[in-house]
Structure 1
């Protein structure tokens, strides 16, 4: 991408989109186009078409999505399916019609079958049944991948897809009703510490294994792919390392400085037992993560402690 090229980052206020904007600016890209959800409802096809016809971006990072944790995914199933289908469909098609040079669609590791072999290789897509709690979201993301692949095949569009693992970092969501596990644990332990709670409840057994990637590493990987990758097959983005929910809780407990006990609520769902990405494809291209989990969580905690996000 040339430094002066017009770049549209969809979802720039979210954790992923904002990280991509930060990375682009750091690398000297200044012609960045953004719209808030109030300015542009990405679920409305006519509005998206008008935006692309007016702005004519050369490159698109599609990071906009309706996201949430197990509870939100399972409660608002229709919303997660509809909103995410419409967002990806409208943007990808408008990008094609308006001759966008390159588009990067960002999915999620939840696209893989619940009991797929580990680590998760890109070839395992659609090889088994999805995890029930986030099936609608996963189906929407799979549809986005397939749109990029088919537009690549039929029209020769340089539309690529990347599947991030679990992410954390600046601008994360700390609402306990719909946040992911890492920010939820940070908030729980912080509040327990300042209110002197004797125990902190952890959903499930603590046994599931999860992989985490700092969102700044993700943004660097996205820019790397936009400049170095044009195949139609999607690429896993992750650290290639994993940690159990129990050990993650203990790590966060230590970072926060909470001295109470953990209480595992086994009436709550565990979700997928294990979800480790095979990141060898990206590694073979010459990219790997640099922010270690403990260092990343510590930096995030120091940041959000002061801005009121954990209150």
Structure 2
């Protein structure tokens, strides 16, 4: 994370009394001459940004691969780390043209091994938060977040210490160029963003997260979702997001489980947003002024509806995610 830089000092000239000189005016001393601007800073901004990009942005796909030091996450990801870019052998997550930083919550047991149980005696600086842990999520454990794929640019990061102007320009390029992907770990959104400086948060333009399956929502899942969405949409968070990638876990009972399901139309969600089990949508509708919105169904196998109305509604909603629901969100969230 980049530290907050102080604002430039204001230099106020002092006006003394006018003096009368009978001889020639003395030559100004070197200390009286205005400082010369760096030749680098006299370059057009576009050229400076290109130079910064060569230094601090990923240049090849291997710069964004997951770390070899595996850190266990608190929950399974929906993100497919093995997926390849179309027509290539390169991982889809390691695309330098659309770089992604994967932020995940560390498994509670792994966290204790790394940082110890007593955080007051640790030099660890990331925010600490509690998660439901163990196989049946029966107890709370303290933990924190980590980046799965830290970009391999550390050798060039010394440029941000050159001066305040370069620091600001590089920081803006860094944070605005990446998509910050939290996947199903929405509980990490608020701690991670809170640990950034207000300037760094204001530079972030793109995030990705995943809504867990509605039929399997637990009370603590709903609380985590509510807290994350309120933070992302609050004016006090200093965020000005322009792109949102939303994954939604969808249930399909077998490969043909949606074939005879009547899908919801976009206008149906004007009523469904207030229905029981859809309260999570109300917080999502608080996003404003988005320029890009990608809505994707993350399909998992689920049971047949049989006599369960809740399961039947979940299956019908799942079948509508990339059609009626996506169109509805685009109408509501994208700026015209």
> What is the TM-score normalised by the length of structure 1?
0.38
- Higher helix content, 1 or 2: 1
Higher relative contact order (CA 8 A, sep 6+): 1
> What is the TM-score normalised by the length of structure 2?
0.35
